[in-house]
Structure 1
């Protein structure tokens, strides 16, 4: 039953994230994941691998934050091989300004890995990180 299995995988990874393991959700990414960050921010584009996404999106964003983003899960939905994770992320920019973004990740699974994803978010807030 892929639908419930994949949703359970995401929920377990999110629970680990809430417990302090920020990398848990990203370990679900296939090595060759195709991940798109929408918009026109410095990190908005389609990434062609987990390493590409981590090195060129997650690390640059993390470097601009004062500590980790604290997630609050809004919803986890699943249908077939897709899981949708809606969540709010709160933290502080290194500039001292608050960071509060709302995300919606649409992910497609094959076996037990995310092979494709699209991240929808407040891109103006991401741009503010780079100012």
Structure 2
């Protein structure tokens, strides 16, 4: 059951919670998450938006690895990934707080997830059936 759900849903849930619990779009995205000092003496300010995108990229990497699997679960996963992209697109266009560069990059990740899933599955099926 868990293998069918796209992991990028976790990012969407976290973004939504952060948006509504964090006091609005800019308060959530621009709030400092970490503020480490590097060996060079530079201060590296990592915002919640940066942390959100980093987490989402990690989940996208796992999703791309999962895209290499074949079977019914993977087809359902790819279909749900397409629905996730459509939902992210609609949120980006319609809902306040979602129309920013951070969420746009996340939306592109959802697009990449479902496109890569379908392409990898198609290529694997062609190889399995010997279609050239």
Structure (1/2) with the larger helix percentage:
2
Which has more radius of gyration? 2
TM-score normalised over the length of structure 1: 0.27
TM-score normalised over the length of structure 2: 0.27
